[in-house]
Amino acid sequence: MTSILQSFIAGRWHGTEARQPLHSALNNSLIYHTHGEAIDFAEALDYGRTTGLRALMALTFQGRAARLKALALYLMERKEQLYEISRFTGATRPDSWVDVEGGIGTLFAYASMGSRELPSSNVLHEGPALALGKKGGFAGTHILVPRGGVAVHINAFNFPIWGLLEKFAPSFLAAMPCIGKPATATSYVTEALVRMMHASGLLPDGALQLVIGSTGDLLDRLTGFDAVTFTGSADTAAKLRANANLIASSVPFTAEADSLNCAILAPDVTPDDPEFDLFVKEVVREMTGKAGQKCTAIRRIIVPRTQVDAVAERLRERLAKVVVGDPSVEGVRMGALASKDQQRDVGAQVERLLAGNELIYGNALDLVGDGVHEGAFFSPTLIGCANALDNDAVHDVEAFGPVSTLMSYDGIDEALTLAARGKGSLVATLVTKDPATAAYAVPVAASHHGRVLVLDREASVESTGHGSPLPQLKHGGPGRAGGGEELGGIRAVKHFLQRTAVQGSPTMLSAITGEYVRGGAVRESEVHPFRRHFEDLQVGDSLLTHRRTVSEADIVNFGGVSGDYFYMHFDEIAAKDTQFGKRIAHGYFVLSAAAGLFVSPAPGPVLANYGLDNLRFTAPVAIGDTIRARLTCKRKVDRNRTDEQGRGQGVVAWDVQVTNQHDELVASYDILTLVAKKG
């Protein structure tokens, strides 16, 4: 029985008229139709810019991070429903794991990063503030704020869940409503995901809309406050990028395009080394995982000329053991391509690659499973190229399936030249056991690749592999690979924010950023800041301590406690020959003495000190110098957490300035503390 897929537009499910048929990749049976009704994209954009933006802005960065975590937990509990529908795409369970749990894991990752690194507001201060005047009354800094537009995410067919979620997570954190457009061939998986997300009740109204089918005039209606991201073929990326309205309105456009990624076997590796087997395993995994339908898959296998035959033989042996068929059958390791159209396209590209080259492996498939002979299966195919420096096709033509080309090189420089012939790639893998080879090759390869994996026996124990983008690191590449970035931790969130320079007095900058800027107004009272609960503390609450004169006994005692007998603290003669001309106190003694000046020792709301940031010793402290400290509440972040006793708590960063008797700054740093809430 087939059903009609629906778009989710302006808070309602849209579409009842059947249009384009969609078939199972496993047996070509009809499973779904797209809907035929046109979408009112003016309404969709207006809904996102009004209802969606308003709902997202009602939350803070921290609030949205908490929603992402709750949503990830909700989806993880229901993941088997997504696995069930994913099998129609031809994916094996491990293939779907990358898509399903990899996508949900991306939500978890951004929830964690947002909780740790973003403020309890909608203004992200990108400091430090810079003094712009000599008297300290004029300064400048940068803030990042939500753009006020809509993010349009256009995705490829190969990862219908991860593809949406890896773009949705950072844009959601940035308070940018999303319109997701999955590739039609596997859009039924994305629709199931969005229905699940909507049913959770965790998505603010208008935060996510879904387009099934054509984008119509959507791109023509965008403004410079919107953004477009795209994952797919380089040809399609070029067409979208050239949209007249995107150009005229300066709409940010980020592409992550399919590329001819490579794996290089370094000349130091021999067939007797563990790295040799690691290389072969990685190539076969990338050829057969997701049936080769990955933008990161290894398309070019670059090996020393002396090792070509050995590598070819090992690859043939491993590929011959790959069981292809219905992934629900035990023992099947590779499924189908996503559609019959994809099957035809891969076949055509293989014919182009074989012109002037050799077929090393690729045979008639012995498929496993009922009805699979009508499915979109394709044999793992290994092509040999004897003259890769003179053959343009192997560096330009991509068969987006289980297809790779083996080519040889003489010397590491030639290998790097071949890698660069891909004209920009998402990822390259270098397999070597020699750190010197890695140190030479990686900086050269980096100019043409978005990511470089260096694989050896040590890294292999925990390596996530050539084709696994991680949310903490950028995913994207130069040139043919699209020229943009996806993922990349908090950098990806900043992509969807507007960066603005702000100039004014330190007091005004403190008010705007929600973060104390040195030189700004402070509030002093008889109540020690450490005696205030999280809710009662305000940015700018400050304490100027009493003074302490540093003695020789302090230095001697600190040396005895710490074991630090560095000559600058204890050798009068040697110290005279330094830039300071005399013995000075340990920097960490100054830190400890400052803590003794400002700490309120009795039990109170401050629960723990868990770190220092931005520590600098800016001037020496000598015997006889007198120091004091100013402690100021710099930043508050309500992470909505409780301790073991159920007490609420937040994070407070304190600005500390230690000065000497001449009011010169001698030490500067931030202290991070957990501070209890009332009750």
Is residue 515 within 8 Å of 637, Cβ to Cβ?
no
* Residue 78 to residue 421: CA distance in whole angstroms: 44
* Residue 419 to residue 300: CA distance in whole angstroms: 8
CATH number of the domain at 261-464, please? 3.40.309.10
For residue 174, the one-letter residue type is A
**Homologous superfamily of 522-676:** Hotdog Thioesterase (3.10.129.10)
Q: Is the pLDDT of residue 590 over 70?
A: yes
H helix runs in 426-513, sequence order: 435-446, 490-495, 506-513
Is residue 53 within 8 Å of 206, Cβ to Cβ?
yes
CATH number of the domain at 40-123+145-258, please? 3.40.605.10
Quickly state the pLDDT bin for 258 (edges 50, 70, 90).
confident
- Per-residue pLDDT at 549: 97
Nearest partner of 314 among 346, 275, 350, 351, judged by Cα:
275
Is 535 annotated as catalytic? no
- Per-residue pLDDT at 2: 61
Residue with more model confidence, 339 or 640 = 339
pLDDT tens, residue by residue, 390-424: 999 999 999 999 999 999 999 999 999 999 999 99
- Per-residue pLDDT at 372: 92
Q: What is the mean pLDDT of residues 367-373?
A: 91
Q: Residue ranges per domain, the chain?
A: 40-123+145-258, 261-464, 522-676
Q: What is the mean pLDDT of the chain?
A: 95
H helix runs in 373-466, sequence order: 393-396, 412-420, 435-446
Q: pLDDT exceeding 90 applies to what percent of the chain?
A: 93
Q: Which two tokens stand for residue 242?
A: 């050239």
Quickly state the pLDDT bin for 486 (edges 50, 70, 90).
confident
* Residue 2 to residue 553: CA distance in whole angstroms: 86
pLDDT tens, residue by residue, 418-461: 999 999 999 999 999 999 999 999 999 999 999 999 999 999 99
Report how far apart, in Å, the C-alpha atoms of 211 and of each of 22, 169, 242 are.
16, 18, 21
Q: How far is CA 418 from the centre of its chain?
A: 28
pLDDT tens, residue by residue, 181-225: 999 999 999 999 999 999 999 999 999 999 999 999 999 999 999
Q: pLDDT exceeding 70 applies to what percent of the chain?
A: 100
Is 633 annotated as catalytic? no
pLDDT tens, residue by residue, 491-538: 999 999 999 999 999 999 999 999 999 999 999 998 999 999 999 999
Residue 202 Rama label (left phi>0; alpha psi -120 to 50; beta): alpha
- Per-residue pLDDT at 346: 96
Give the number of other Cβ atoms within 10 Å of residue 91's Cβ: 31
* Residue 55 to residue 178: CA distance in whole angstroms: 13
Main-chain dihedrals φ then ψ at residue 222, nearest 5 degrees: -80, 160
Q: What is the mean pLDDT of residues 571-596?
A: 94
Sheet holding 358-361, edge to edge: 358-361, 381-385, 403-409, 298-304, 261-265, 425-431, 449-455
Q: Do the bridges between strand 139-146 and strand 124-131 make them parallel or antiparallel, or are there none, so unpaired?
A: antiparallel
- Per-residue pLDDT at 548: 96
Give the number of other Cβ atoms within 10 Å of residue 400's Cβ: 23
Q: Is the pLDDT of residue 234 over 90?
A: no
- Per-residue pLDDT at 1: 42
* Residue 355 to residue 533: CA distance in whole angstroms: 74
Catalytically annotated residue among 178, 295, 385, 633: 295
Q: Which two tokens stand for residue 475?
A: 């995913």
H helix runs in 464-610, sequence order: 490-495, 506-513, 552-562, 567-570, 572-576, 587-598
Catalytically annotated residue among 101, 191, 256, 275: 256
CB-count burial class (<10 Å; 0-12, 13-18, 19+) for 74: middle
Residue 30, strand partner residues: 23
The end-to-end CA distance of the chain, in Å, is: 57
pTM summary value: 0.93
Is residue 181 within 8 Å of 154, Cβ to Cβ?
yes
In degrees, to the nearest 5, what angle opens at C-alpha 229 toward C-alphas 225 and 234? 135
Nearest partner of 662 among 611, 618, 601, 609, judged by Cα:
618
CB-count burial class (<10 Å; 0-12, 13-18, 19+) for 644: exposed
